[in-house]
Amino acid sequence: MTTPRARLAVLASGSGSNLQAIRDDLVARGPAASAELALVVSDRVAAGALERARSWSVPAVHLPKERNESLDALLQQHAITHIALAGYLRLIPLDVVRRFHGRMLNVHPALLPAFGGPGMYGARVHAAVLAAGARVSGPTVHFVSEHYDEGAIVAQWPVPVRSNDSADSLGARVLAAEHRLYPWSLHLLTSGAITLGPDGRVHGVPDFDFDRELP
Ligand code: GRF
């Protein structure tokens, strides 16, 4: 018996470059893909993410902040089984966080648990990394929990900070690493290779060889 494909919703407020990377990965995997992109949601009507979804004929829904609480109903309508947050700036309602426990990932553009928490998004994160004098940054993929940026960590990738970096130049290199790490992590999740255990830890993540290329 073949396992049915996961029905993935991507929630994004911005341009959707991570959404693009996720979609590219699913297309590249072809019949071996363990998920299909079933819905894209944005709180911003002009989000590039919605435009991208429409160009692929994937259902694209603008959910204004006044309707934020109806997110779960929307996900149910589309029979969504897994969620990827990709630069989504609205708080996820608690009913969604609870129902998708162990089935919702986020990507954060720094090495958690440092440089995370409310208000830490976009260029602010990279500016904080530079201000702290950190020598290494990089993306973190983690499960979404009831506490902002505190869910169990699935994967991280080191991106060295250069002495002449600006928030923009560092952010661009971290983003390029996100584009590799996030689709890979989502494949692990939707294929059932990794699980969030009752101990709150992630099980099944393969060990990385950091001397090698990104997965
Ligand atoms: C990324 O930096 C991601 O880490 C953060 O939001 C940004 C989204 O960018 N959560 P994009 O819309 O995927 O280009």
Tell me the C-alpha distance between 107 and 126, whole Å.
14
The residue assigned the tokens 């995370």 is: 116
Q: Check: pTM over 0.75? Answer yes or no.
A: yes
**Tokens 């602010």 appear where?**
124
SS3 call for 125: helix
pLDDT along the chain (215 residues), means of 10: 87 97 98 98 98 98 96 98 96 97 98 94 96 98 93 97 98 97 97 96 89 77
C-alpha 70 to ligand 1 mean position (Å): 23
Q: Which atom of ligand 1 is nearest to the CA of 13?
A: 12
Q: Which of 2, 1, 63, 73 is nearest to 33 (CA)?
A: 2
Q: Domain 6-111+141-156+178-199's class?
A: alpha beta
Active site residues per annotation: 108
Name the closest-CA residue to atom 2, ligand 1: 109
Strands 104-108 and 136-137 come out as unpaired
Bridge pairing between strands 159-160 and 195-196: unpaired
Give the nearest ligand 1 atom to 14 CA: 12
In the structure encoding, which two tokens stand for residue 18, read together? 């991570």
Is the distance from the beta carbon of residue 149 to the nearest atom of ligand 1 less than 6 Å? Answer: no
Is ligand 1 within 6 A of the CB of residue 137?
Answer: no
- In 30-122, alpha helices (H): 48-55, 71-77, 94-99
Is 50's C-beta closer than 6 angstroms to any atom of ligand 1?
no
Torsion sign over Cα 96, 102, 105, 109? positive
Query: Which pLDDT belongs to residue 213?
Result: 76
Task: Give the pLDDT confidence score for residue 211 in this predicted structure.
Answer: 79
Tally of CB atoms within 10 A around 100: 20
Is the C-beta atom of 17 inside 6 A of ligand 1? yes
Q: Quick one: how far is CA 143 from the chain centroid?
A: 9
* Amino acid 148: pLDDT: 84
pLDDT of 215 reads 76
